[in-house]
A and B are shown apart, each in its own frame.
With several copies, the nearest count.
Chain A
């Protein structure tokens, strides 16, 4: 099992979610994150004084999948996440050793996504 972690733009998430759902991957989690990378900071002004912000808002997607599904997930994210501008984000893949479904206590690869008939 692998965990795909992606930092992407907010507006890229919706098409990614929809396509993953269609591909049979309804299960994922997201978190708000802020990141810095190649993009420059922006400067805000408040009653004449300045404030520089280096971190820009991103969405972090976390999705644990079977080893064979990693590429599908990555491709989908790349497809919808790309605008070509700096700040589009990064994708990382980490190893996962075990997984449990809390509802039933089952563990193993088959709990990662909803069973075909269940959805």
Chain B
């Protein structure tokens, strides 16, 4: 009802709003068939790239499903759907305008409800080599949505469902847009400090990681995670095959994430970024496997997957700035970071899928690595005024900018998110009761197990026993003598 009311209000507002722009609108141009082939090509490429990024929702869902216990597996599904749904509406209504709308160094102030084509300086027609505003919306929306999805990784198996419904609009409406505006659009970090982030090591991963840390500190560990003596204990996820499927989907999605961030199919950059992305992911897997083998003499499945993510997260920021060989180095270092990160962090705080290691730490490393390995040519191409990395220029300038970008982002997101979560904790509460946690979120929050046949006694499941006698058929010739109807 509330939602309907909101929708109708929006509708009214939109109908009344005067169409601000004087230039022939894209819509009219398109209907007249006057769009250029280049614009069509760029938009098609970026929409398709965005589709692969959207699919990362499924990837993350499967990773989380795989890494939680079976009694909480269903809740992941509801969580992903609700957050993705909220993000879609909020990012359309306000998030996109705040982040990519024209405005100033602090915040975009135009383009609410994607109204006004000229409100978006990165899109056509203001940037005639680019994509249509709706294309830009979609591509940036899926970024925001995956960042939001990552936030919750630290909260699995114990957070109240209501927390999503409160924080998601705030994140998609203002927290993420602020950072995106500052670093991806024309905000101060980019314009004044030349902070560089090709596809979001900072904007997506550091942001998500900072928020994930904020909620985790308030939420505390899962029951039983730490023995009375404080030693962490393994709470293994219940399904490695689905985890593996998730990792492969995420990897696939990254080929939309990084190469699509060119917002362009015509500058010849995106295929090389595909290669660079692959190399970093490869190196992340191999480094993580190797380190784990040295530590435990086993080839840890979860760590191999975490290594892939770490490598891919780390290359996200520098993907458009570095040479292929550097991608191997960046990915391998990320793979090492993630292993030690997971093991160390596990001693203190309970991060079920490794968000703090694979996203926050690897994202920071990725942001800084750009300051080490960016070639001057690519730095200049991507942002005139920015600098090549230490390795090429001998100068710490870009590295310093990167560090500032990371610190500012972390501070802003952590503080604002902590405040929001603190308020939630003081009001409706962040965490389900111990009883609910014991029995699992599927049954306590969603009324039904994710795997009913595993948890409900078969005599009570229709089709496995609970067929009332009155429905039984008589005896007769049976092919399987042990099956009666």
Contacts and interface: CB of A to CB of B under 8 A. Distances in A.
Contacts of A47: 234, 300, 302-303, 306, 342-343, 346, 354
A15 interface: yes
B449 interface: yes
Interface string B285-325: 00000001001101010110010000000000000000000
A87 B303 CA distance: 32
Interface in B448-475: 448-449, 452, 455-460, 464-469, 472, 475
Nearest to B449: A44
A39 interface: yes
A39 B465 contact: no
A101 interface: no
Interface core residue of A45, A56, A85 (most chain B CB under 10 Å): A45
Contact of A44 (B232, B342, B447, B467): B447
B481 A55 contact: no
A39 B484 CA distance: 12
Interface of B: 232-237, 292, 295-296, 298, 300, 302-303, 306, 339, 342-343, 346, 354, 438, 443, 447-449, 452, 455-460, 464-469, 472, 475, 478, 480-482, 484
B476 to A, nearest CB: 9
B458 A45 contact: no
Contacts of A24: none
A51 interface: yes
B475 A83 contact: yes
Contacts of B475: 83-85
Given A44-B452, A48-B303, 11 more contacts: A9-B465, A45-B447, A45-B448, A46-B300, A48-B343, A49-B233, A50-B233, A50-B234, A51-B236, A83-B475, A85-B481
Given A10-B464, A48-B295, A42 B482 contact: yes
A59 B455 CA distance: 13
Contact of A80 (B232, B343, B466, B469): B469
Nearest to A19: B469
Contact of B481 (A39, A52, A57): A39
Contact of B459 (A30, A39, A85): A30
Contacts of B343: 47-49
A48 B457 contact: no
Given A32-B458, A45-B296, A51-B456, A11 B233 contact: no
A44 B234 contact: yes
B313 to A, nearest CB: 17
B309 to A, nearest CB: 13
A10 B346 CA distance: 26
A32 B455 CA distance: 11
A17 interface: yes
11 contacts: A10-B464, A14-B466, A45-B234, A45-B448, A46-B447, A47-B300, A48-B300, A48-B339, A50-B233, A53-B457, A55-B459
Contacts of B457: 30, 34, 53, 55, 57
A51 B346 CA distance: 14
Interface in A41-85: 42, 44-57, 59, 80, 83-85
A47 B344 CA distance: 11
Contact of A9 (B448, B468, B478, B484): B484
A44 B443 contact: yes
A18 to B, nearest CB: 9
Given A13-B459, A14-B467, A85-B475, A49 B481 contact: no
Interface residues of A, number: 35
Interface core residue of B235, B298, B457 (most chain A CB under 10 Å): B457
Contact of B456 (A12, A14, A53): A53
A90 interface: no
Contacts of B443: 44
B481 A40 contact: yes
A94 interface: no
A92 B119 CA distance: 77
B213 to A, nearest CB: 19
A102 interface: no
A10 B465 contact: yes
A46 B234 contact: yes
Interface in A79-112: 80, 83-87
A11 B480 CA distance: 16
B459 A14 contact: yes
Nearest to B296: A45
Contacts of B342: 47-48
A44 B456 contact: yes
Which 6 A-B pairs have CB atoms at the shortest separation, nearest pair first?
A10-B465, A45-B447, A49-B234, A13-B459, A51-B234, A34-B457
Contacts of B447: 44-46
A86 to B, nearest CB: 5
Contacts of A42: 480, 482
Contacts of B455: 57
Contacts of B456: 44, 51, 53
A7 to B, nearest CB: 12
Contacts of B452: 44, 46
Interface core residue of B303, B343, B459 (most chain A CB under 10 Å): B459
Nearest to B467: A11
Interface core residue of A42, A49, A84, A87 (most chain B CB under 10 Å): A49
